[in-house]
């Protein structure tokens, strides 16, 4: 074949490739998302993974049991099931407050079932997994033992807490 024919074939191939590139459809890839429960404990915002929170109970009577550690104020009756209640403020270094007006987030993680005392629910949102950042290395105190990541919400950085780590601390 003469060289002019070769050039013509290559030009045709390049033109076809350019045409295909222009007509490619943009595929919208849905990023994996996770549900988080954003809540107030003490004076700060925190979050739990939504999969670990079964329900939020209104303030209820907590039955005191002798010889329990400070972080366990007592037990509650949830539709016939007796559940322990954990005062999360103990692990977050927050000041103790009136327990009578606090909500209880029923946490479930593997074999761990317990109520976790919180002030209020701020929001329940779905966030892209890629927006969860590693926890700050400067975290100190008991909070560092519970935090598994950081998320942005309303222009604020919120610590994402791990129910599994909380369960491990309570089991000690």
Task: Give pLDDT tens digits for 56-89.
Answer: 999 988 999 999 898 999 999 999 889 999 999 8
Structural domain includes residue 2: no
Pairing of strands 103-109, 53-57: antiparallel
Rounded Cα gap, residues 57 and 149, in angstroms = 26
Reported pTM: 0.76
- Work out the average pLDDT over 105-115: 93
Could you list the residue range(s) of the whole structural domain that residue 124 is in? 33-171
Nearest to 147 by CA among 163, 131, 129, 159: 159
Does 1 map to a domain?
no
| Residue 94 belongs to domain with CATH number | 2.40.50.180
């Amino acid at each position: 074949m003469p060289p002019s024919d070769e050039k013509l074939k290559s030009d045709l191939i390049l033109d076809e490739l350019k045409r295909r590139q222009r007509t490619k459809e943009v595929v919208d890839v849905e990023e994996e998302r996770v549900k988080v429960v954003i809540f107030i404990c003490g004076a700060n915002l925190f979050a739990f993974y939504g999969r670990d929170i079964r329900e939020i109970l209104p303030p209820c009577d907590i039955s005191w049991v002798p010889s329990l550690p400070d972080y366990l104020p007592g037990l509650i009756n949830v539709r016939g099931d007796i559940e322990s209640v954990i005062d999360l403020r103990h692990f977050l270094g927050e000041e103790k407050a009136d327990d009578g007006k606090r909500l209880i987030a029923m946490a479930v993680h593997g074999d761990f079932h317990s109520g976790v005392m919180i002030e209020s629910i701020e929001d329940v949102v779905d966030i892209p997994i890629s927006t969860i950042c590693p926890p700050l290395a400067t975290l100190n105190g008991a909070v560092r033992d519970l935090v598994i990541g950081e998320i942005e919400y309303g222009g604020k950085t919120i610590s994402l807490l791990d129910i599994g780590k909380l369960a491990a601390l309570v089991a000690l």
